[in-house]
Structure 1
Amino acid sequence: MSVLFGNNKIRFLDTTLRDGEQTPGVSLTPEQKLKIAEELSLIGVDVIEAGSAIASDGEREALRLISDAGFKAEICTYSRAKKEDIDLAVKCGADSVHLVVPVSDLHITKKLGKNRDEVYKMAMDAVSYAKERGLIVELSGEDASRADQTFLSELFRDGVSAGADRLCFCDTVGLLTPERVSEMIPPLVLAPLSIHCHNDLGLALSNTISALKAGASCAHTTINGMGERAGNTPFEEVVMVLEKLYNYDTGIDKKRIYSLSTLVSQLTKVPLATNKPIVGSMAFTHESGIHAHGLLRDASTYEPMSPETVGRKRRIVLGKHSGTASVQSALNELGYSPNDKQLAEIVARVKQVGDKGRKVTDADVMAIADSVMLLECKPVISLRQFTVVSGSNAIPTASATMVVNGQKVTGAATGTGPVDATINVLSQSVAMLGDIKLEEYHVDAITGGADAMVDVTVKLRKDGRVITSRGARTDIVEASVEAVLAGMNRLLRNENENRG
């Protein structure tokens, strides 16, 4: 254990299912909440704040499902200082309540229309009542960073006397600095103390780490930093900062971090920023020739940690910054063995594609290599025609006629939209040659206006082999067809063919 944290065992209360779900536009079903809670427990989170029992019937159903699931993690629910909230927490089977009381004069007067004495009495009564009902109590000061610290200290001290098991300092609108944290936290460690930060000014992570160093023993976090406005402290970043920079063993199963992150992103429909630390798509992706060359010799040259540590893989993409080493590495993975002269020409052509502002996909590299090395690539599949029907009163349906290994195949499929229906019929038509799965789909507009060119990039997988491909047309469906067909043809080529 790092000496910086004394004898404290740092714990994690994850509030993805409560504060994280308050992200505008996010609404999870009870079943989705249960799935996320299961993964939170498996990764090693100590407490799961599974929602707010007072909020809705759906919230109560989710809390009951999660409470009855037998997870190792403690199950908590958000609660106001009101008996009805506490009664519902008990009824839903929660282990604990995150009992939140406004403590700044701004919140006390403007939000509640009360005074300090009234809020103090509400807090003491609620703590006592929750303990009588058999709940673990974490007494939380809302807007603590703007509160009178003498009042906050008295409320915390007497709350512990009334039976509160834990305390929590909430920086509700992200106004703390690490310097203020180091001054404000130590006098409040009257019981195990949590820190709950919001990221309005980008300091949630720094403030959380500062609080843990100053005596707090629990970090409130959300997966991917989800939450209202600019979000909360990101779980994955706190874990890896503690592990990597402070040499502190969190006890978290770090290899589950990326899969949990992507699960939450998929279920909440909140995409990850490409440059997000740890879990963003670019976190372990490299293009620069100098960087890629160094990585191929020693990964630590341009990576602070191994991507495998958090359940990821390194990715080297090609573009105008790519050097010979990275292009050769990509060619080797794709099964090509060019001589030095051929390699130099392939590198030059890759850079030309990148100079045009285009993504350089695996299919692009293979097409360039085939041309330079005078290899003949006979298509395994070709498209004769396709038709898509979609509209306000019609289920999106696509039909296609293809030639697959010389055999004519006609089929039809439906989907959630015209692109989805088209990709479904293409996959269905080549099923005889193996199961090809679409793993990623990305579209960019190349030019503006109603006749904009769209650039579609796809990632396809077959039998553990992954390939990226692209298509560019003014019609998004046609661009998608071009990208998927190019990728399928490359995946279905004979893996034993000679590309030397």
Structure 2
Amino acid sequence: MIALFVDKIRFFDTTLRDGEQTPGVSLKPSQKVEIATMLAELGVSTIEAGSAAASEGEREALRLIAGAGLSAEIATFVRALPLDIDYAADCGADCVHLVVPVSDLHIGAKLRKSREQVCEMAWNAVEYAKERGLVVELSGEDASRADPDYLAGLFRGGVERGADRLCFCDTVGILTPEQVASVIPGLLFAPLSIHCHDDLGMAMTNTLAALKAGASAAHVTVNGLGERAGNTPIEELVMALEVLYGVQTGIRTDGLYHVATAVSKMTGVPLPLNKAIVGEMAFTHESGIHAHGVLRNASTYEPIRPEQVGRTRRILLGKHSGTASVQAALHELGYVCDEGQIAEIVARVKAIGDEGRRVTDADLMAVADSVLDLVREPVITLKQVTVVSGSNVIPTASVTLTVNGGEVTCAATGNGPVDAAIEALRRAVAGAGDIRLEDYQVDAITGGTDALVDVTVCLSKDGRMLTSRGARTDIIMGSVEAMVSGMNRLLEERG
């Protein structure tokens, strides 16, 4: 059990501010409202909705979030400037995250002011924010490189003038847990937050060390988004506290994966495959020994149940797969096989894996059909696909399929030629079933402009999910091939 100085840890989520400062990320006000709503539903205490002084779009987002009736406190980033504070108050914020540079490097090189001038700016801003009726979290930027005595003095002066909370910022991620244990206890004359960056991979460790040393709140972002190497990821911190330290965080953990994937899609920042908690492979097994153990008792190779974070376990098939995992996958797909047939299917699965290929559900079904001598007439057959794309042209695709013996032609537009082709295929089979694209991955198998690409799609219909693949030198046709293969399998009668 971690020794805490407070009854409950506060989570100050800065996905919509520090997270949006990830290079290339820009969220619309409507997206910010959607993310803020999900964070409030998770149980986050404070949501930093952006920087009100940055743009009119930021102010619109803040107004919308502040007016959404969310359970969380709504904060905004401000500098020690009256105009910033006015923007925050006028847009309906509950709290200002008042950030003041405190290291001599930042004071001299960035502000070109003296220590005394920075103190006056900070204290005046605190007083003004309190006059405007705002909760104030006074934050020391680059605190890890500041003179500890100067930082403590600035913080004390801020509290004397009405600051409600303080925040220690490891702005460039250079703290160590030992330094955290040394510096945090001397700043506990007001509720203290810790804000860590992950430049040297220490954000999680330093955040935990700060909470153990007496900090009462942690600044976090979804998926660890943030400038450069990012910030402390909420999903990892919450589960580390819950599982390793026995802390009841008050966060609805079964919503973590949904929020992580939604934020990933909206920001365009993909989740690393091996990311803890929310990465694709976090609860995925292929090795025969591991898969066999997990199928018998999940705790053999999983420290937490996937359902705790809103996920399900996956068994991937490949050259490392054993009989148990192949048998489980066949059962899920509705196949009944004897021992000899299973042995042959396992051998063929390993052979596919030895070729360097991932074995999709459609691959396994094709192997099983062959071994069991099952002949299936395809539900759909592709007759033609035409795609138009280029500068000043909306990507458009038309497809002609035979669906259950009848010919269907459909057209659709999309964000790109692949998106248009996939949407046209979905529309063409809509009469036979509502098939959704849940995931899309593409890898280049060979190099060069004529590279062979391997497209893998995950499709769903009526709660059933299935993966399939296509490999072509043409990414559009590879995608179409994967879609048609998967749709055929989903539309077949099971059993």
What is the TM-score normalised by the length of structure 2? 0.99
Taking structure 1 as reference, are residues 3 and 374 closer, same or farther at Cα in structure 2, changes over 3 Å only? closer
Q: Partner letter of residue 144 of structure 2?
A: S
* CA-to-aligned-CA distance 1:178-235 (integer Å, 9 cap, x gap): 1110011001111000000000000000000000000000000011000000001101
Amino acid at match of 1:149: P
Residue equivalent to 1:29: 28
Partner of residue 131, structure 2: 132
Shift of 1:95: 0.7
Q: Counterpart of 1:86?
A: 85
- Give the Cα separation in 2 of the matches to 1:443 and 1:250: 38
| SS of corresponding position for 1:185 | helix
Secondary structure of the structure 2 residue equivalent to 1:51: coil
In the alignment, the residues of structure 2 paired with residue 287 and residue 46 of structure 1 have an alpha-carbon distance, to the nearest angstrom, of 39
Residues 359-408 of structure 1 deviation map (CA, whole Å, 9 limit, x = unaligned): 10000000000111111121111112222222213222222222111112
Per-residue deviation, 1:3: 5.7
Counterparts in 2 of 1:292-331, with a 5 A limit? 292-331=291-330
Residue 441 of structure 1 aligns to a residue whose secondary structure is strand
Question: For residues 83-482 of structure 1, what are the structure 2 equivalents within 5 Å?
Answer: 83-482=82-481
Amino acid in the other structure paired with 1:231: G
**8 A contact 2:94–2:134 mirrored in 1:** yes
- The farther-off stretch of 196-205 and 471-480 is 471-480
Instruction: For 1:383 and 1:78, locate their aligned partners in 2 and report how far apart those are by CA, in whole Å.
Output: 54
**Counterpart for residue 39 of structure 1:** 38
Q: What residue identity is the alignment partner of 1:265?
A: S
Find the aligned partners of 1:103 and 1:377 in 2 and give their Cα distance.
71
How far apart, CA to CA, are the structure 2 residues paired with 1:21 and 1:3?
31
Counterparts of 2:113 and 2:121, CA distance in 1? 11
Regions of 4+ moved over 6 Å: none
CA deviations on 1:261-295 (whole Å, 9 max, x unpaired) are 11111111111111110011111111000000000
Q: CA, structure 1 residues 155+8, in 2 after alignment: closer, same or farther (shift >3 Å)?
A: farther
User: Counterparts of 2:263 and 2:51 in 1: how far apart (Å)?
Assistant: 19
1:125-166: CA deviation from partner (whole Å, max 9, x where unpaired): 111111111111111111000000011111111211111110
> Structure 1 residue 20 and structure 2 residue 43: aligned?
no
1:55 counterpart = 2:54: yes
Alpha-carbon deviation of 1:7? Answer: 3.6
DSSP-derived class of the 2:431 partner: helix
**Distance of 2:315 and 2:147 partners within structure 1:** 52
Contact 2:177 2:205 in 1 (8 A): yes
Match of 2:488 in 1: 489
One-letter code aligned to 2:121: M
The Cα RMSD (Å) is 1.0
Structure 1 residue 413 displacement after superposition: 2.1
The one-letter code matched in structure 2 to 1:369 is A
In the superposition, relative to structure 1, how do residues 7 and 390 fare at CA in structure 2: closer, same or farther (>3 Å)? closer
**Contact (CA 8 Å) 2:2, 2:212: kept in 1 or not?**
no
Q: Secondary structure at the match of 2:280?
A: coil
Which amino acid in the other structure matches residue 143 of structure 1?
D
1: CA distance, partners of 2:36 / 2:376: 48
- Which amino acid counterpart does residue 436 of structure 1 have in structure 2? I
- Give the Cα–Cα distance (whole angstroms) in 2 for the partners of residues 393 and 207 of structure 1: 50
Aligned partners of 1:28 and 1:227: how far apart in 2?
14
Alignment gaps of 5+ in structure 2: none
3-state SS in 2 of match to 1:364: helix
- Report how far residue 427 of structure 1 moved: 1.5
SS at match of 1:274: coil
Shift of 1:410: 2.2
Partner secondary structure for residue 331 of structure 1: helix
Distance 1:378 1:189 in 2: 72
Distance 1:7 1:220 in 2: 16
Aligned-partner Cα distance in 1 for 2:116–2:135: 24
Q: In 2, Cα distance between the equivalents of 1:322 and 1:355?
A: 11
Q: What residue identity is the alignment partner of 1:186?
A: P
Separation in 1, partners of 2:221, 2:195: 10
- Please report the TM-score for the alignment, with normalisation by the length of structure 1: 0.98
SS at match of 1:458: strand
For residue 45 of structure 1, report the CA deviation from its aligned partner.
0.5
- Partner Cα distance (2:382, 2:8) in 1: 61
What secondary structure does 1:479 align onto?
helix
Alpha-carbon contact 2:2-2:246 (below 8 Å) kept: no
Question: Once the 2 structures are TM-superposed, how far is the Cα of residue 240 of structure 1 from its aligned partner?
Answer: 0.5
Secondary structure of the structure 2 residue equivalent to 1:167: strand
Matched, 1:4 2:3: yes
More off after superposition, 402-411 vs 48-57? 402-411
User: Distance in 2 between the 1:135 and 1:398 partners?
Assistant: 53
CA distance in 1, matches of 2:402, 2:6: 68
Give me the identity figure in percent: 68
Query: Partners in 1 of 2:480 and 2:448 — Cα distance?
Result: 22
Q: How many positions carry a matched residue from both structures?
A: 495
C-alpha separation between the residues in 1 aligned to 2:23 and 2:65? 23
- Report the AA paired with residue 463 of structure 1: D
Gapped regions of structure 1 (runs ≥ 5): none
